[in-house]
Amino acid sequence: DLSKEAMENLADQLAGSVFKIKGKSTFKEEFVTAGGVDLKEIDFKRFESRIHKNLFFAGEVLNIDGLTGGFNFQNAWTGGYIAGKAMAGY
């Protein structure tokens, strides 16, 4: 278990990281929906709306379109985890 401070530090490091994508995989059935909630409206430390308190978003409802399916899955899993922890009061 990470302390709140350690979790926030980890989130800041991950959010500030840059990764170079070399291309798509050999699978041709990859897809992701486009559009969604404007990222400026989200507090990414909690995945909470900046406009409506206690309204949380994660996954494809956000305007995040990764080049690869793996990125989109990881975004959904991580966002869901952070939003869930925030909703539970951790």
Tally the residues of the chain. Answer: 90
| Alpha-carbon distance values, 68 to 8, 39, 71, 78, 90 (Å) | 26, 19, 5, 16, 31
Predicted model pTM: 0.63
Express each pLDDT in 43-66 by its tens digit: 999 999 999 999 999 988 999 887
Quote the pLDDT of residue 12: 87
pLDDT band at 69 (very low <50, low <70, confident <90, very high): low
DSSP state, residue 46: T
- 36, pLDDT greater than 80: yes
CB 67 within 8 A of CB 21: yes
Mean pLDDT of 23-38: 72
Angle (CA) 6-88-47 rounded to 5° is: 65
Per-residue pLDDT band for 19 (boundaries 50, 70, 90) equals confident
Closest CA to 59 of 25, 41, 36, 43: 36
